[in-house]
């Protein structure tokens, strides 16, 4: 499968694309079953909701120990980290051959999995989850250029009330001043230039099996989960082979997986 010229143009202009009903119900249910088991057993490494919003810019940019701490044993899990090597079901999705031609189109390069970033089962637990504030993933990553995208798989329905992704279209093409971000690198929501951009945000309801591919510089956020059911999704990041990781950085702390070309 490949994107049409108009679909590729839309991604290039807006920074994201939704692939409807891309993954099968069987594959999603298989991943979901294993993910729920790891969530119940709190299989490390995990990230919890404790202090998530307060973590510093330096933590987000430099921390490589993804295990939760002792004082977080009862806290709601925000994500299962480093899932590629947890189970074959996770690995199979991240190495999926059907989506690879699309990723090759978008990256215009060979596809490389970056296990240092995302590589996660993302959750928003009912009522105890926190919002995800406006940010660009690339601001925390260490590479020679911006040719990275993330692949988001909805494992169930996602909508505003349970924390569906929201994007500011075209923001991956924009240049921002440091003053437009707070001291934790979140996009400020209290100044006029930002407010005008935020008012252009878009989102779309996702069904199980839908995939969203979005650029590493695209501004995005999500509400907290106000429903009575968990929201669980799978996200991983890929880069082009020509995009080089900075040595001795968080981004180089975990291996990369070069995937076979399927052009």
Contact yes or no for 147/107 (Cβ under 8 A): yes
Domain ranges of the chain: 5-258
Confidence bin at 70 (pLDDT 50/70/90):
very low
Regarding the domain delimited by 5-258, which CATH topology (the fold level of the hierarchy) does it fall under?
Jelly Rolls (2.60.120)
Measured CA to CA, the distance from residue 155 to residue 121 in angstroms comes to: 10
Residue 71: pLDDT over 60: no
DSSP symbols for 11-78: HHHHSEEEETT-S-HHHHHHHHHHHHHHHHHTPSSEEESTTGGG--HHHHHH----PPPGGGTTSPEE
Q: What is the pLDDT of residues 167-190, one digit of tens each?
A: 999 999 999 999 999 988 899 999
Token duo for residue 138: 């690339």
Measured CA to CA, the distance from residue 235 to residue 82 in angstroms comes to: 11
Contact yes or no for 189/139 (Cβ under 8 A): no
> Helix or strand or coil: residue 100?
helix
CA-based torsion, 98, 99, 102, 108: positive or negative: negative
Q: What is the pLDDT of residues 11-54, one digit of tens each?
A: 999 999 999 999 999 999 999 999 999 999 999 999 988 755 55
Q: What is the pTM of this model?
A: 0.92
Residue 72: pLDDT over 80: no
Residue 61: pLDDT over 90: no
Identify the helix (H) or strand (E) that includes residue 30: helix 25-41
Measured CA to CA, the distance from residue 94 to residue 109 in angstroms comes to: 17
| Residues whose CB is less than 8 angstroms from the CB of residue 47 and which lie 6 or more positions away in sequence, other chains included | 66, 68, 77, 78, 79, 81
Residue 75: its pLDDT value, please?
A: 83
Measured CA to CA, the distance from residue 24 to residue 60 in angstroms comes to: 33
Q: What is the pLDDT of residues 97-107, one digit of tens each?
A: 999 999 999 99
φ, ψ of residue 142 in degrees (nearest 5) = -125, 90
Cis peptide before 45 (omega within 30 of 0): yes
Measured CA to CA, the distance from residue 152 to residue 212 in angstroms comes to: 5
Helix residue spans in 95-185 (DSSP H)? 100-107
What percentage of the chain reaches a pLDDT higher than 70?
Answer: 90
Helix 100-107 to helix 5-14 angle (10° resolution) is 60
């Amino acid at each position: 499968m490949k994107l049409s010229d108009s679909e590729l143009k839309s991604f290039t202009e807006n920074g994201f694309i939704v692939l409807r009903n891309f993954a099968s119900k069987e594959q999603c249910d298989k991943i979901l079953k294993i993910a729920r088991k790891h969530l119940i057993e709190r299989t490390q490494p995990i990230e919890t909701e404790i202090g998530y919003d307060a973590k510093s810019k330096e933590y987000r940019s430099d921390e490589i120990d993804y295990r939760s701490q002792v004082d977080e044993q009862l806290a709601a899990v925000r994500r299962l980290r480093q899932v590629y090597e947890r189970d074959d079901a996770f690995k199979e999705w991240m190495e999926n051959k059907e989506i690879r031609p699309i990723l090759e189109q978008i990256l215009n390069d060979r596809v490389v999995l970056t296990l240092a970033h995302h590589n996660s089962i993302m959750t928003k637990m009912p009522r105890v989850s926190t919002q995800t504030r406006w940010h660009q993933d690339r601001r925390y990553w260490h590479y020679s250029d911006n040719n990275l995208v993330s692949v988001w798989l909805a494992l169930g329905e996602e909508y505003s009330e349970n924390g569906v992704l929201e994007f500011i279209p075209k923001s991956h093409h924009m240049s921002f001043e440091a003053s437009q971000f707070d001291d934790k690198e979140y996009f400020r929501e209290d100044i006029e230039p930002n407010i005008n951009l935020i008012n252009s945000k878009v989102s779309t309801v996702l069904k199980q099996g839908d995939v969203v591919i979005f650029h590493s510089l695209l501004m995005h956020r999500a509400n907290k989960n106000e429903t009575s059911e968990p929201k669980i999704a799978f996200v991983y990041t890929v880069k082009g082979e020509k995009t080089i990781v900075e040595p001795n950085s968080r981004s180089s702390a975990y291996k990369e997986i070069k995937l076979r070309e399927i052009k």
